[in-house]
Structure 1
Amino acid sequence: MSFGDPNNPYGQQQGQQPGYGYPQQAPQGVPPQGQAGYGYPAAPPVSGYGAGPGVPLTMPGTIKAARVMLWVIAGLQVVGLALLFLGVAAVEKIKDDPELKGQEGFDAITKFSSGVIYALIVVAVLFLAGAIWGAVQCGKGGSGARVGLIVLSSLTIVFSLYPWFPLSLVHLVLGILILVFVAKSDGAAWFKRPRY
């Protein structure tokens, strides 16, 4: 490719492209890049994070999923409470059966079973309240809420393993997922974000 006479000041010089002979300058009133202009300071770039790097403005998907799982646990607790109240009604009905009253140890068994059922009702109500509290706190945030959710999900895992394992498999899986989602770094960023 020929570029013409290299000594001609009006001709195209070697290594230059047409239209690029002069250095680029910013238009009047616009400061060069990296320098502040007059007036108001420039706004930070709009993104999913605000108030500094790593601070989410919207709830991460993992925390949204944990919130839904907490509502599912609350619904399961309501179903469990209904079954426990049916168990109390069945024990009360058996207590009044005249044929069974004469048998040995019948009173001890009915008192023990009704006491266990009432204790399970108290535990189910506490887990119901904890699941509702946790689902509400997912939206509000706070490091105390994060710690509370980690404790709640750990207790859900423990109680799902020991006495109820085959029946509580759903609780076990949900508890593990909530624990993982809340403990992840995006969950920590959500719960530790500044709230004004």
Structure 2
Amino acid sequence: MSYPPDPNNPYSQPPQPGYGYPQQAPPAAGYGYPQAAPMQAPMYGYPPAVPQSMPGMVVTSRVLLFIIGAVQIIGAGIILTGAAVTKTVTDRARDSYESDPFGGFGGAATGVLVVVGIVALLFAVFSITLGVKFGQGGPAVRITTLVYGSLGALWGLVMFLGSFANKVNPAPGFVFAVMWLAVSILMIVGMSTRDGVAWFARPRY
């Protein structure tokens, strides 16, 4: 039979948990004991910072879209003016000779020029509208601009190769093709950079 230890006996051992004495719970945190910091899950990456203003390459792409739209408007005006002149010359020649001296070529050329001029005007409106959307547009605007720049680069490459077919003076076509290629590549780069992606993916309220 076991007896409880005498508290007045200095040689007696302190009571052990489980031998007739209840085990005491550890002191709660906050009563003189520091509380352990909660464990945090390790972070293996940080989300890209949301740009507060439009990044430089995005601004460049936007300005280039406006410039392209202006050039397309000027080109459309020149083409439609040429269509009007062609129609006037054809009508006067028909009135003078009481028949079409061009064999119908004048009317066909006028129709082609009108269609090309209208298409150029539509592209001008599209370019300017796309540039305006850069302020509040989302990922769809970025992807559309990326595709637009890629098609422009392809067209610039075609013009670049076609400039060598002009044996008389290939310089104007060559310079224009190089400039068009450079503009298209700048637009592609502006839409592909990390800042550009973050700008169009930012939350809009």
Deviation for aligned residue 1:131: 0.9
Q: Alpha-carbon deviations, 1:111-164, whole Å to 9, x = none?
A: 321222122112212210111111111111301111111122223233344368
Q: Which residue of 2 aligns with 1:158?
A: 154
Question: Are 1:111 and 2:107 an aligned pair?
Answer: yes
Question: Are 1:127 and 2:123 an aligned pair?
Answer: yes
* Amino acid of the structure 1 residue aligned with 2:84: A
* Amino acid of the structure 2 residue aligned with 1:131: S
Give TM-score scaled by structure 1 length: 0.65
Q: Which residue of 1 aligns with 2:183?
A: 174
Deviation for aligned residue 1:169: 4.2
Distance 1:96 1:70 in 2: 39
SS at match of 2:133: helix
Q: Which residue of 2 aligns with 1:69?
A: 64
**1:1-196, aligned counterparts within 5 Å?**
53-98=48-93, 101-103=99-101, 106-162=102-158, 166=173, 167-196=176-205
Alignment check: 8 A CA contact 1:73 1:171 kept: no
Distance 1:125 1:102 in 2: 30
Deviation for aligned residue 1:192: 0.8
Farther-moved stretch of structure 1 (84-93 vs 60-69): 84-93
Distance 1:195 1:181 in 2: 20
Give the 3 Å change call, closer, same or farther, for CA 107–78 of structure 1 in structure 2.
Answer: same
Percent sequence identity is 31
Distance 2:73 2:157 in 1: 20
Farther-moved stretch of structure 1 (69-78 vs 92-101): 92-101
* Amino acid of the structure 2 residue aligned with 1:140: Q
Alignment check: 8 A CA contact 1:156 1:175 kept: yes
Q: Give 5+ residue unaligned stretches, structure 1.
A: 1-34, 36-51
Q: Give 5+ residue unaligned stretches, structure 2.
A: 1-36, 38-46, 164-172
Alignment check: 8 A CA contact 2:149 2:185 kept: yes
Alignment check: 8 A CA contact 2:137 2:200 kept: yes
Number of aligned residue pairs: give it.
144
Give TM-score scaled by structure 2 length: 0.62
Distance 2:108 2:178 in 1: 27
Q: Which residue of 2 aligns with 1:27?
A: none
Alignment check: 8 A CA contact 1:71 1:135 kept: yes
Q: Which has the larger radius of gyration?
A: 2
Q: Which residue of 1 aligns with 2:40?
A: none
